[in-house]
């Protein structure tokens, strides 16, 4: 095996013109496949007056309407279990997964075959190898291995790489920390929130994880992985490099990863996806350096082809040469910056939970927090409260934190006043998978939002 | 002189790439046979899935394999 910083040197360093030719080739095949085998897509293409042979350039892809999560849900609701989304018989699948359901919405169901799982783990291999995982590593998965797809693909990727894999499974945080130490773990996979919790619990156990053998913490599942202050806390606490990745159940795996050069963003796996960034209001492409919504077409999972899927993710795409690693794939600066549908309008000001979190994470004394949106007793005025738990030995810092944090949050939100509330230690929820730190308690027709 | 095989972008294949693609095609043929015992039939499919990813990564093939149960 050649020594390479790239999992797939041929494609990861391919000139961009070649990369675009490859994407067009794969797109044509995928569109033909979907039109021939998937009634859902054939219907959409026909309604738009689009035929597969009209795809002559990458720009032609925009002749196909975007699809949404609601389209997927509707198809599966109208025709349980799989809708008319699947390209082959369910008996060709070897695995069933579904979305986490963390938003309270109806989960999406997905099926994959043997080769689909090779692809799912392959995308994680790009990211894991790219952040330095090698055959000599001992890799720990702080993950419950349920029907949420989570880190399943990363587990198989690390086995493919040849590392020693330790499935954390259903154990206490304390026991996981003990295993990490006793097995000489070098790489930990976790959500950013849970990586922080592991570290905090280790501190309470009198253990300094910075003195362990852990060299890298690879995170996924939440936008927080690219928040500089969060990353700084994790790197300091673990004494290890922290690398961000982002994925989605709709494709079964990650689509972007941070390389070991840590350029402040994540590389898009462009030889296996075609990613557009779209102005969500106009539907027009967003140029480099402008915020927009990720729209993904995946060349991987052929069981349920995903074509022009509006992810809801907020991203800012920048050119590949922003990073010096030599990869020619473009970068999402700052990773996934949140979700368009997470935005809350409070007294005329847009509030994004990730933006609030990025300010809160600057305060080392804060242990946990929750953003609580509510309406006053007259049902007129919207309010926002940040509930905060301080670390046990930092309680005396509250007055200073309250004053400074209040100013920082207001300054970043057009002067909007945030209420700050000190909560008793251990009263706020803790998370292992996707953290849900926003509660919208304003009266709505459908009950509590968030 | 026999025509050199190319990848999906029209580039000549290296010796390694030729061998890898040949293995993939051999496995695909094996997966279509119906006279293999379960241990071989399923093992071939697993191996084929692995090689499918290799030829996919190296831009040697890009196709679906559901019709042979992979």
Distance CA A369, CA A386 (A): 7
- Using alpha carbons, list the distances in angstroms from residue A188 to A176, A179, A213, A236, A264: 11, 11, 11, 15, 20
Q: HSE on the CB side for A170, CA within 13 Å?
A: 2
Are residues A266 and A316 in contact, defined by beta-carbon separation less than 8 angstroms? no
Q: Which helix (H) or strand (E) holds A295?
A: strand A291-298
- Using alpha carbons, list the distances in angstroms from residue A434 to A102, A192, A362, A419: 7, 9, 21, 25
Which residue, among A341, A367, A342, A376, has the nearest Cα to A356 in the 3D structure? A342
| Interchain proximity A18–B9, CB inside 8 Å | yes
The pLDDT tens digits along chain A (450 residues) read: 788 999 999 999 999 999 999 999 999 999 999 999 999 999 999 999 999 999 999 999 999 999 999 999 999 999 999 999 999 999 999 999 988 665 557 889 999 999 999 999 999 999 999 999 999 999 999 999 988 899 999 999 999 999 999 999 989 999 999 999 999 999 999 999 999 999 999 999 999 999 999 999 999 988 888 889 999 999 999 999 999 999 999 999 999 999 999 999 999 999 999 999 999 989 999 999 999 999 999 999 999 999 999 999 999 999 999 999 999 999 999 999 988 888 888 988 889 888 899 899 999 999 999 999 999 887 788 999 999 999 988 999 999 999 999 999 999 998 899 999 999 988 999 887 778 899 999 886 544 444
- φ, ψ of residue B29 in degrees (nearest 5): -65, -45
Are residues A233 and A298 in contact, defined by beta-carbon separation less than 8 angstroms? no
Are residues A195 and A238 in contact, defined by beta-carbon separation less than 8 angstroms? yes
Distance CA A209, CA A178 (A): 11
- For A30-37, the CB contacts below 8 A with 24+ separation are A30/A297, A30/A299, A30/A302, A30/A305, A30/A307, A31/A55, A31/A64, A31/A307, A33/A87, A33/A302, A33/A305, A33/B64, A34/A87, A34/A305, A34/A307, A37/A87, A37/A88
* Overall CATH class of domain A344-440: alpha beta
Are residues A214 and A188 in contact, defined by beta-carbon separation less than 8 angstroms? yes
Å from A155 to nearest chain B CA? 16
Domain boundary assignment for chain A: 1-339, 344-440
User: Quick check: helix, strand or coil at residue B35?
Assistant: coil
Residues on chain A touching B45 (C-beta within 8 angstroms): 114
Å from A294 to nearest chain B CA? 24
Are residues B45 and B32 in contact, defined by beta-carbon separation less than 8 angstroms? no
Are residues A328 and A19 in contact, defined by beta-carbon separation less than 8 angstroms? yes
Distance CA B61, CA B54 (A): 9
- β pairing state of A366-375 and A349-351: unpaired
pLDDT at A446: 45
- Measured in residues, chain B has a length of 70
Residues 6+ apart with CB under 8 A from A36: A42
User: Quick check: helix, strand or coil at residue A311?
Assistant: strand
| Residue in this structure with the two tokens 């990353």, named with its chain if needed | A231
CATH code that applies to domain A1-339: 3.40.50.12780
B53 in A contact zone (CB under 8 Å)? yes
pLDDT at A106: 82
pLDDT in tens, B16-65: 999 999 999 999 999 999 999 999 999 999 999 999 999 999 999 999 99
pLDDT at A392: 87
Distance CA A229, CA A170 (A): 29
Q: How far apart are the first and last CA of chain A?
A: 49
Size of interface A-B (CB pairs under 8 A): 58
Q: Choosing among B41, B57, B58, which should be mutated to test the A contact, i.e. which has the most A CBs within 10 A? A: B57
- β pairing state of A216-219 and A187-190: parallel
Handedness of CA A249, A113, A60, A49 (dihedral sign): negative
Residues on chain B touching A114 (C-beta within 8 angstroms): 45-46, 49, 69-70
Chain A residue set in contact with B, beta carbons under 8 Å: 8, 10-11, 18, 21-22, 25-26, 29, 33, 87-88, 92, 113-115, 117-119, 122, 271, 299, 302-303
Domain boundary assignment for chain B: 15-62
Distance CA A32, CA A42 (A): 10
| Interchain proximity A29–B69, CB inside 8 Å | no
pLDDT at A450: 41
Complex ipTM: 0.96
Q: HSE on the CB side for A120, CA within 13 Å?
A: 28
């Amino acid at each position: 095996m050649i020594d390479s910083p790239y999992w797939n040197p041929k494609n990861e360093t391919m000139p961009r013109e070649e990369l675009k030719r490859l994407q067009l080739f794969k797109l044509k095949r995928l569109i033909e496949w979907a039109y021939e085998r998937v009634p859902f897509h054939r219907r959409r293409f026909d309604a738009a007056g689009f035929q597969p042979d009209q795809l002559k350039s990458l720009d032609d892809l925009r002749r196909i309407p975007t699809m949404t999560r609601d389209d997927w849900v509707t198809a599966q609701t109208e025709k349980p279990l799989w809708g008319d989304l699947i390209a082959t018989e369910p008996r060709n699948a070897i695995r069933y997964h579904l979305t986490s359901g963390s938003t309270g919405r109806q989960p999406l169901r997905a099926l994959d075959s043997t080769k689909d799982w090779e692809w799912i783990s392959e995308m994680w291999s790009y990211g894991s190898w790219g952040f330095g995982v090698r055959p000599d590593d001992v890799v720990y998965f702080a993950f419950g291995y349920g029907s949420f797809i989570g880190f399943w693909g990363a587990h198989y990727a690390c086995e493919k790489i040849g590392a020693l894999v330790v499935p954390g499974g259903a154990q206490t945080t304390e026991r996981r920390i003990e295993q990490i130490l006793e097995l000489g773990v070098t790489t930990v996979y976790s959500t950013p929130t849970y990586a922080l919790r592991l570290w905090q619990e280790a501190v309470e156990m009198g253990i300094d994880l910075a003195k362990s053998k852990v060299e890298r913490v690879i995170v996924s599942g939440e936008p927080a992985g690219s928040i500089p202050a969060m990353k700084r806390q994790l790197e300091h606490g673990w004494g290890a490099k922290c690398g961000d990745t982002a994925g989605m159940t709709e494709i079964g795996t990650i689509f972007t990863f941070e390389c070991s050069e840590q350029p402040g963003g994540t590389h898009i796996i462009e030889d296996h996806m075609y990613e557009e960034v779209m102005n969500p209001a106009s539907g027009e492409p967003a140029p480099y350096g402008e915020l927009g919504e990720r729209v993904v077409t995946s060349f991987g999972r052929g069981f349920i082809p995903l074509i022009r899927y509006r992810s809801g993710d907020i991203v800012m795409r920048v050119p590949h040469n922003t990073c010096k690693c030599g990869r020619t794939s473009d970068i999402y600066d700052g990773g996934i910056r949140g979700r368009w549908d997470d935005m809350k309008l409070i007294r005329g000001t847009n509030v994004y939970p990730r933006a609030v979190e990025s300010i809160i994470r600057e305060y080392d004394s804060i242990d946990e927090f929750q953003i609580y949106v509510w309406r006053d007793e007259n049902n007129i005025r919207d309010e926002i409260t940040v509930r905060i738990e301080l670390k046990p030995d930092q309680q005396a810092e509250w007055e200073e934190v309250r004053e400074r944090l209040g100013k920082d949050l207001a300054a970043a939100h057009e002067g909007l006043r945030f209420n700050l509330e000190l909560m008793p230690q251990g009263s706020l929820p803790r998370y292992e998978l996707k953290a849900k730190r926003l509660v919208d308690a304003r009266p709505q027709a459908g009950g509590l939002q968030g | 002189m026999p025509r050199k095989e190319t990848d999906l972008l029209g580039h000549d294949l290296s010796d390694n790439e030729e061998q890898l693609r040949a293995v993939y095609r051999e496995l695909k043929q094996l997966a279509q046979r119906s006279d293999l015992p379960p241990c071989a039939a399923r093992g071939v499919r697993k191996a084929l899935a692995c090689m499918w990813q290799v030829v996919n990564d190296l831009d040697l093939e890009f196709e679906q394999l559901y019709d042979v149960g992979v």
